[in-house]
Amino acid sequence: SRRVVRSLPALEGALGDDNSEMQLRTNLFVSLLGVAVVTAYVPLAPSAKSPSLRSGGCASLSTFVPSRQPRHASTPLGMVASISTGEPRQVIDSTERKKDNPAPDAFFYDYPRLCYHADAAFHATLTDLYKELLPSGEETRCLDMMSSWVSHYPTDLSWGRVDGLGLNREELSKNPQLDFYEVRDLNNEPSLPYDDACIDAVTCALSCQYLQQPEAVFADVGRVLKPGGVAIMSFSNRMFPSKATYAWKRRGEGDRLGLVADFFRSSGAFEEPEIIDKSTPLHVLSYWSASLLGVQLTGDPFYAVVARRKKV
């Protein structure tokens, strides 16, 4: 079962007027510090170890929802749709696809946001992962999906062509790593404007939380990838809350990893995904200290789900 953390104003009202806001925040922080210390010594529920893909070559903080479910829960492979049907299995229901702000995404992203959406440590980890997993060379073609003014690709590698899809033309035009770009709203049109099996690698950073038809998008990622091609989906605990789907906001951070892995599984086009979780109990404590006291104790947690296109 899940427990939803109530808002600070509600707690203030329950405790009365004698407690100052700072005292209340301090008390809550000290309590959470004790919880975090205990949590650090409580083993997580076991989960199946995903096969490693590394030997194969080629906004605001989120609402934290504590979960007692095993982290990285996976869907039985028997439930995965056959790739031959061309119809991905639905992972989330119609309610989970909704957002607090139902206006078209084109309105929300109409003006450029030339800023970073995670900290420097997150970006460095992402670049290192790309350097490890992305194929390179003159014959290699990459797609940065839901891109912006930065892609965080390694600067000491080169590719024959890097395409970008995003929602803001000015942001895309300022991205020095893109050779070609196109403005495309994947919630309005959940398909990729590329031929079958023409791309070697697809990346998507800090954006999975906004997809309202993720099964269709991930299935099309499988369509455009060459056999053996790699897809890398990374995220942290930051988001634009009004534009993130309920499927994302109602899950804890570990469960979001399992959710993205299920998006890959839903099409039947990918090998078993690899889950990368570089979070620690200190990240949980840091979230609460930043929320209650305005003090961030450590950087943003790094999560990624990586999968390869089946070769047959």
Q: How far apart are CA 305 and CA 199, in angstroms?
A: 18
- The encoded tokens of residue 192 equal 């990729």
Phi first, then psi, for residue 95 (nearest 5°) are: -65, -40
Write down the residue that tokens 């003090």 correspond to: 295
Burial 188-208 (b: 16+ CB within 10 A, else e): eebebebeeebbbbbbbbbbb
Q: What is the pLDDT along the chain (312 residues), one digit of tens a residue?
A: 333 333 333 333 333 444 445 554 555 554 555 444 333 333 333 333 333 333 333 343 433 333 323 333 333 333 334 343 457 889 889 998 998 888 887 776 676 665 556 677 778 899 999 999 999 999 999 999 999 988 999 999 999 999 999 988 999 999 999 999 999 999 999 999 999 999 999 999 988 888 999 999 999 999 999 999 999 999 887 766 777 899 988 888 889 999 999 999 999 999 999 999 987 877 777 667 766 776 666 678 889 999 999 997
CB count in 10 Å sphere of residue 133: 21
Of residues 229, 254, 18, the one with CA closest to residue 134: 229
